[in-house]
Amino acid sequence: MTQVTTHASVDTAVNQAAEAAPYWAESSVSTRAALLRGLAEALEAHKADLVAIADEESHLGSARLTGEIARSAFQLRGFAEHLEAGAAHKRVVDEAIAGAPPAGRPQLTRVLRPVGPVAMFSASNFPFAFSVLGGDTASALAAGCPVVVKAHSGHPRLSKAVFDLARQVVLAQQLPEGLLTLIEGASRGSGGYLVQHPEIKAVAFTGSYQGGTALWRLANERPVPIPFFGELGSINPLVALPEALEADSQNLANTLAGSITMGCGQFCTSPGVIVVLKGGSTEQFISQLGDALKPIQTHAMLTPSMREGFEHASSVVAEHAKTQLVGTAGPGPAPRLYRTDAIAFIASSQLREEMFGPAAVIVEASSLTEVEQVLGAIGGTLTTTLWGASDDTPANRSLVRAAERVSGRVLFKGVPTGVAVCAAQNHGGPWPSSTAPQTTSVGYASLERFLRPVALQDAPAWAQA
């Protein structure tokens, strides 16, 4: 549990996790649940100090960060409750049937076993919820896997402070120190070394497409490849049909403006593409959206490099679309809208690049068929929002199917920013939004990533526990 900056110290952290793995894999539900609840209590008990550090490093504001601590504590306790309900110990039993196959069979019991030490790469934009004690750590610990946390360079002091609190909880409960280790200040090379360490059995990553795919390749190039659960970003199209705009365009514009600029647009679920059908209600909506964005001043972005990346991505989009700057720059960049048509959007991959910041592209389509073609051109995305697709019509059914093909979550109301932590949640999607589209990184099903099924044949009762 010491600061890690070299390959040798990465070895130390991972080896500690490997030593703790057999104990934690065999640990009882009550032991795991007690740890998860203890970690939640530690976060809440030191909330004020942690929020102050986080705000200094991230500029996200005390209200947002306080809410993020509440979410982190909530999901830690939620995983404890789901453990107690049997989530990590589900069994499927097929009793033996006498006779020859295919009717006859031996007794088979399908059980779930922890995969082993998990490398978790913290995200920049959620200093609590996707960091040291965020959802990936909580789900892996719940599954029975030790976690090696790669701290993010955007909030190093906070990462160390949260880790120190977690360490105290682990020691107070007389658990192995290797259950949670921290890598601080590691270079890209050290991150790659961590992914390829032979004792690491899975990786959880939330971050950029470029960084994620580089690590994903390393995970697959190992002598023994391992699962890489990467969430790589998304442009989250929002389709605003005339039916919705004619009913409530002003409130929808206000809601959308808040979603585009929330957290200075640094959400993986920020709506980056607004798809509309040409017409009078659409023109009014676009004007209202611009007006709603004008008074919003964004806060500083998480890091200077993130600001540079946003400005570069915006400039690329600006070369291929009509630009409409709205508002004025405050501590952060001014919100901006870009406008193009469906034909140009489908033809130009540059218009489909993620702008990780307070910006969106408005795409005007001439028909619902073109709307579906726009969704198809976007490809994999975490979310698609469909405003106005409430009625059961053939056209709406076709649109929903198109959205489901490219998305991990389809919304019919509201905006995609804000991801509920619950059993039914799915935070993932087809490539390139996720490297493992059959899994989720948010919600209680996320612990299934770190469990491996094993079928036990004609096993004694003690082996089936």
Domain range summary for the chain, segments of one domain joined by +: 7-232+434-464, 237-411
Are the CB atoms for 36 and 143 separated by under 8 Å? no
Q: How far is CA 182 from the centre of its chain?
A: 20
* Cβ partners under 8 Å of residue 124, min gap 6: 152, 154, 155, 207, 266, 302, 303, 306
The long-range contacts involving 289-292, CB below 8 angstroms and separated by at least 24 positions, are: 289/253, 289/256, 289/257, 289/337, 290/324, 290/326, 290/337, 291/253, 292/253, 292/254, 292/256, 292/257, 292/258
Helix or strand run (H / E) with residue 398: helix 394-406
Termini Cα distance of the chain: 32
- Measured CA to CA, the distance from residue 333 to residue 385 in angstroms comes to 25
**What is residue 10's predicted lDDT score, i.e. its pLDDT?**
94
- Measured CA to CA, the distance from residue 118 to residue 23 in angstroms comes to 15
Q: What percent of the chain has pLDDT over 70?
A: 97
Catalytic residues: 231, 268
Structure tokens at 117: 């030490």
Return the residue matching tokens 């969430």. Answer: 231
Residue ranges in the chain whose pLDDT is less than 70: 1-5, 186, 323-329
What are φ and ψ of residue 225, in 5° steps?
A: -60, 155
- Measured CA to CA, the distance from residue 138 to residue 88 in angstroms comes to 13
**What is residue 233's predicted lDDT score, i.e. its pLDDT?**
85
Q: What is the mean pLDDT of the chain?
A: 94
Domain at 7-232+434-464, CATH from 3.40.605.10, 3.40.30.10, 3.40.50.11140, 1.10.260.40? 3.40.605.10
**What is residue 2's predicted lDDT score, i.e. its pLDDT?**
38
For 389-423, the pLDDT digits (tens) are 999 999 999 999 999 999 999 999 999 999 999 99
- Measured CA to CA, the distance from residue 108 to residue 106 in angstroms comes to 6
**What is residue 328's predicted lDDT score, i.e. its pLDDT?**
62
**What is residue 327's predicted lDDT score, i.e. its pLDDT?**
59
Q: What's the CATH fold of domain 237-411?
A: Aldehyde Dehydrogenase; Chain A, domain 2 (3.40.309)
